[in-house]
Structure 1
């Protein structure tokens, strides 16, 4: 099948191959035979990449209004769209909601998109009601898929950038609550405005514990193996989840800028150390900063962010450290930069990236 992306090409090349395939065109138009339809359905179910290619091909097909028997200038139409994909971009929560409401796909690329890849944004706005003092508090839930990132601006001006493959719950009815409780799974950058009053507690909860802040910038990371907090500005109070009260708990730890803490539910250890914070807080910016960062840590972040599997042939490379900056535009740029820095070849097969021969 001509349109099957069995060999690794760039996203746009695979897309052009699909749109140039007569059988695929018939499938989009609903004019395939039973055998052809079965082949394409099997192809569609093979991988998430194939489903992404199908979604974008279908979107471009509609935009170009493929109504004639002759194939329009697909390449020209595609390149017009790709010209718009020049700068990294973080979508606001309002834009996410509009996309979900209109059920449209979007051709966009920001700091961590795969080159020229378009993601169907699927923010799930779910409402959960919690009773406190006989009041029902409305909570929003925002979830990001692999390769997605969303910026949330809160009513009092604070901002949260939710990383890929993450979920955040936050109060919907802001005026009704003095304590602002957030539940995080994954990773998020918090910029809490100094307008927040001390009596209006701003508390982030992970499975491992609580983080309380007033006027600060920090990152919280939790992916099932403990929670990590890195402070860029201001102060953050941290306590494990076996604590009833942040104020009354002996193990409560206050962090200042330049410090990192790691803690885990059920563990007595609170690991605090001073670090170069840039490698921990630049994942949402144009440049990803590395400072003697082990290759193994970089691999873990890429797998968590993009949903890929990374294989390293030479295991000794896992302990190699890297320093410097990498353009944080997309997965392709990052993997090419890493391969060049390590002086090893790499190749990609669907959702598997292989470093080394």
Structure 2
């Protein structure tokens, strides 16, 4: 990420005091995706230092919609001077500022409103949210967090993939809500839990505290530590008691705990966490189960472990790993 402009230069830009030459240079700088995070981080800091300025939201939003349709450049943004207060809708300030730019609809919407944390295959990321809640984001996952409104009212985040949450209880008892692509919703005040949401299913495992889990039909269940709730094929909630909830978060330490886990299930885990395809042509072999705790930092170590434990022969063909019984 190239830091071409000083913080003071961008603060002048946010305040409407930048020169035409500076505005042009900043616009060109923002054409690079990698520079935009600097822009939004400093925009947020500027907004925190200038809470007395509140965007004329009706005017800003109308101009915002026009710009999405036409991509036209706007020269002015009108601000209303209000008594000092925290600007809960500070994203409108961002929208107003960015009306000076010619940007895509995605940039003007998602990049303004949300900060998105992502992990690559094989990567695990530790995240501290503004309320000091901790999130461990598993490989091949993303977490979307509101940039400006987080901490005002409900604290709502959007997860795609898998993560462990350790939520801080706030003095005002604000709810913390995790939503997923299939409309699974987890609502808590302060607790520790794991959410798994991938194309082949969704589940919530509670480690401590108490949470309420809801689905798209507004069916809800309140669960206790040791409970796991999953969505069945019809989208209904199914609850069961599980033993050893710690195994569901072992991935944080690059560990995999199997308890009579089928090789077929393990191939799914490999594809989700390491991004490679694994095939087991023999159905009987795919249904063979293994148990134990194993350490694997990459797909090669995982496949080597499977080969040693289960006596498998591993070959690679057209970027697909094929598992067969050793002869």
Verify same fold: TM over 0.5: yes
Does residue 204 of the first structure (1) align with residue 173 of the second (2)? no
Residues 228 and 261, structure 1, Cα contact 8 Å, conserved in 2: yes
Q: 1:154 aligns with which of 119, 129, 138?
A: 129
Q: What root-mean-square deviation, in Å, do the aligned CA atoms of Structure 1 and Structure 2 show?
A: 3.1
Cα deviation code 1:253-278 (max 9, x no counterpart):
111111111126963x3111011323
CA-to-aligned-CA distance 1:182-214 (integer Å, 9 cap, x gap)? 011111111113x43463110001123210112
Return 280-289 or 303-312, whichever deviates more. Answer: 280-289
Residue pair 2:88, 2:149 contacting (<8 A) in 1 also: no
**Alignment: residue pair count:** 228
1:189 aligns with 2:164: yes
CA distance in 2, matches of 1:342, 1:356: 10
Q: Is the 8 A contact 1:208 1:226 kept in 2?
A: no
1:291-323 CA distances to partner (integer Å, 9 max, x unpaired)?
111221111011011111101132212212211
Query: Matches of 2:35 and 2:162 in 1, distance apart?
Result: 16
* Aligned mates of 1:253, 1:205 — CA distance in 2: 15
Alpha-carbon spacing, 1:175–1:210, altered in 2? closer, same or farther (3 Å): closer
Which of 75, 89, 109 pairs up with 1:135?
89
Q: CA–CA distance in 2 between the matches of 1:199 and 1:264?
A: 32
Task: Give the number of the structure whose alpha-carbon radius of gyration is greater.
Answer: 2
**Pairing 1:171–2:141 present:** no
Is 1:221 paired with 2:175? no
Alpha-carbon distance in structure 2 between the residues aligned to 1:179 and 1:353: 45
Separation of aligned partners in 2, 1:198 and 1:101? 39
SS of 1:221's partner is strand
Unaligned residue ranges in structure 2 (runs of 5+): 4-33, 41-56, 62-86, 92-112
**1:61-72 aligned within 5 A:** none
1:312 to 269, 280, 283: 280
Higher RCO structure (Cα 8 Å, ≥6 apart): 1
Q: Does 1:274 align with 2:228?
A: no
Deviation at 1:176, TM superposition (A): 5.4
The 3-state SS of whatever aligns with 1:157 is coil
Change (3 A) 1:176 1:283: closer
Asked if the contact 1:163/1:186 (under 8 Å) is kept, the reply is yes
Contact 1:168/1:182, CA 8 A, preserved across alignment: yes
Contact 2:131–2:151 under 8 Å retained in 1: no
Superposed CA deviations along residues 29-85 of structure 1, whole A, max 9, x for unmatched, are: xxxxxxxxxxxxxxxxxxxxxxxxxxxxxxxxxxxxxxxxxxxxxxxxxxxxxxxxx
Q: Which residue of 2 aligns with 1:37?
A: none
Distance 1:336 1:124 in 2: 41
Residue 174 of structure 1, CA deviation: 6.0
Identify the match of residue 288 of structure 1 among 256, 260, 269.
256
CA contact (8 A) 1:209 1:242 kept: no
Partners of 1:139 and 1:272 lie apart in 2 by 32
Verify: 1:256 aligned to 2:224, yes or no. yes
* Alignment check: 8 A CA contact 1:197 1:214 kept: no
> What is the SS of the residue equivalent to 1:356?
strand
Q: Is the 8 A contact 1:208 1:227 kept in 2?
A: no
1:226/1:333 CA distance change after superposition, 3 Å: closer
| Post-superposition CA distance 1:237-290 (Å, at most 9, x none) | 1011233xxxxxxx32111111111126963x3111011323322112142211
Question: Which sections of structure 1, spanning at least 5 residues, go unmatched?
Answer: 1-99, 103-121, 244-250
SS in structure 2 at match of 1:229: strand
